[in-house]
C-alpha cells in the first residue's frame, strides 16, 4: 500500500463488487474515482462541483471521502449496510463492545451468530453439554462470534474489516499471535481471504511485537488504543499495516489535566498528537496507515456542530473510522466545511521528530514518562476487558 499512488486501490476487489458499489453512487464521473490512502497525488478540484447542477447538495461526508478513506465504526449490520450503499465507506471496524452487543442483541440474525459460535466452540474443543465450560471453549466461542460478525461486515463493505484479538492478552505476545492466527484460519475456512481482515491488537509493547510477527506472515494488523507518539512510532517500526490513535481520549486527558473546557479544533491536543504521528510516518516513508478513531468535540459539547470538530481538523489524513451518529452529522453539513488539513508533503516537511529506533528497554524508559499514554491505555484495556467478560457471561448461558 504505497501512499504515493493514487491508483493503489483501484483493482483490489473483484469487478462485480466494484460495479455493485458503483451502481449505488450518484451518476457522476467523480463518484467513480477510486479512493486511496494517497495524500500526495489527489486531485484538488472535484468535477462534481463545476459540472453538477446539484453541486450545492454535496455533503461534507462526500467531500471528506474524496480525500480520506472512510471506515464505519459499528457492528450493526443494518447501519453498516445503509452507509456502505452510499459508496463512501470502504472499511469497517469492530471492537469487544460491538461483539458483546451482538451477543446480547436478541435479533434473530445475531442470535444465529451466537448459536453457531457456541456449536463451533463445543465441536472444536470437545466440551460436553452440561459440564462446566472450559476456558478454552469460551475463548473459542468469543473469537468465533467476532468472526461471524466480521464475515457479515465483509459482505457489506468493499475493503477491510478489523477484528480484535482478546484484549486480555494485551501483555502476552505469543498468546496474541496464536489467537490471531486462529481468527484468520476461521475466516479462511469461511471463504474470507486474510487480505480482507485486519487483526486488531492493543498498543502495548507486547501487542506491537505480536503485530511484527504477524505482518511477517502476511497477516495485516491494526494497532489500536494508541494515545502516544511512542506507540505510533513503535508500531510503524514493527511494520504494522495501520494504527488507530484516539484523539478524543487524548483530548479528555488534557482537559482533565488543564481544566480547559474546550480548544480550537486545530489546537486540540488530540488532533495535534495525530498530526505528529501522521507527519512522522510520511517523513520517514513508513507504509503504516494513520486511522484516527474515537472522537470528541474540541470546542465543548455545548457548541453547535462541535461533534465533528476533530474529524474536520484531520481532513486529509490517510483514513478515519467514524461511528454512525458522526457520519450522520457530516451528511448534514455542506461540502464547504471540509478543507484539507493533513497533507503528506507539508506535514512530512514539518516533522521534527528523529527516526529513533526503539528497543524494548528504550521504549520502556520513554513510556514510563508518558502519563497520558499510560493512563489512557490502561483505561482502554480495562474497559474492553469488562466488555469481554460481559460477553463471556452471556455465552456461558448459551452452552
Q: What are the residue numbers of the active site?
A: 200
For residue 206, which of 191, 225, 190, 186 has the smallest C-alpha distance? 225
How far is residue 180's CA from residue 188's CA, in Å, rounded to a whole number? 12
DSSP state of 356: P
- Angstrom CA distances, 369 to 135, 203, 259, stand at 36, 16, 21
Q: Which helix (H) or strand (E) holds 177?
A: helix 173-189
* Dihedral angle of Cα 112, 113, 119, 124, to the nearest 10 degrees: 160
How far is residue 332's CA from residue 94's CA, in Å, rounded to a whole number? 25
Cell match 471463504: residue? 191
Q: Collapsing DSSP states into helix, strand and coil, what is residue 124?
A: helix
Q: Which helix (H) or strand (E) holds 41?
A: none
Amino acid at each position: 500500500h504505497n501512499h504515493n499512488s493514487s491508483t493503489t486501490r483501484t483493482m483490489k476487489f473483484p469487478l462485480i463488487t466494484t460495479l455493485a458499489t458503483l451502481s449505488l453512487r450518484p451518476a457522476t464521473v467523480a463518484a467513480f474515482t477510486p479512493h486511496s490512502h494517497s495524500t500526495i497525488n489527489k486531485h484538488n478540484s472535484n468535477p462534481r462541483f463545476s459540472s453538477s447542477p446539484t453541486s450545492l447538495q454535496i455533503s461534507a461526508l462526500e467531500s471528506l471521502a474524496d480525500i480520506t478513506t472512510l471506515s464505519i465504526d459499528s457492528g450493526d449490520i443494518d447501519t453498516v449496510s445503509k452507509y456502505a450503499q452510499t459508496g463512501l465507506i470502504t472499511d469497517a471496524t469492530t471492537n469487544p463492545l460491538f461483539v458483546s452487543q451482538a451477543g446480547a442483541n436478541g435479533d434473530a440474525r445475531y442470535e444465529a451468530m451466537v448459536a453457531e459460535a457456541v456449536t463451533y466452540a463445543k465441536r472444536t474443543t470437545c466440551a460436553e453439554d452440561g459440564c462446566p465450560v472450559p476456558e478454552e471453549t469460551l475463548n473459542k466461542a468469543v473469537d468465533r462470534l467476532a468472526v461471524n460478525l466480521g464475515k457479515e461486515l465483509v459482505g457489506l463493505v468493499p475493503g477491510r474489516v478489523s477484528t480484535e484479538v482478546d484484549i486480555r492478552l494485551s501483555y502476552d505476545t505469543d498468546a496474541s499471535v496464536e489467537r490471531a492466527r486462529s481468527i484468520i484460519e476461521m475466516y479462511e475456512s469461511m471463504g474470507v481471504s486474510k487480505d480482507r481482515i485486519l487483526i486488531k491488537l492493543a498498543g502495548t509493547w507486547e501487542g506491537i511485537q505480536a503485530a511484527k510477527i504477524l505482518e511477517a506472515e502476511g497477516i495485516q494488523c491494526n494497532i489500536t488504543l494508541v494515545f502516544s507518539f511512542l506507540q505510533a512510532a513503535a508500531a510503524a517500526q514493527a511494520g504494522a499495516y495501520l494504527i488507530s490513535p484516539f484523539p478524543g481520549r487524548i483530548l479528555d486527558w488534557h482537559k482533565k489535566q488543564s481544566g480547559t473546557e474546550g480548544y480550537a479544533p486545530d489546537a486540540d491536543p488530540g488532533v495535534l498528537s495525530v498530526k505528529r504521528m501522521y507527519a512522522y510516518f510520511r517523513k520517514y516513508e513508513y507504509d503504516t496507515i494513520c486511522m484516527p478513531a474515537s472522537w470528541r468535540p474540541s470546542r465543548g459539547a455545548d457548541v453547535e456542530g462541535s461533534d465533528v470538530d476533530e474529524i474536520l481538523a484531520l481532513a486529509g489524513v490517510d483514513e478515519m473510522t467514524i461511528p454512525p451518529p458522526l457520519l450522520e452529522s457530516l451528511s448534514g453539513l455542506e461540502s464547504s466545511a471540509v478543507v484539507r488539513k493533513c497533507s503528506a508533503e507539508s506535514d512530512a516537511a514539518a516533522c521534527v521528530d528523529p527516526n529513533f529506533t526503539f528497543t524494548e528497554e528504550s521504549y520502556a524508559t520513554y513510556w514510563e514518562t508518558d502519563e497520558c499514554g499510560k493512563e489512557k491505555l490502561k483505561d482502554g484495556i480495562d474497559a474492553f476487558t469488562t466488555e469481554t467478560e460481559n460477553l463471556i457471561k452471556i455465552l456461558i448461558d448459551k452452552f
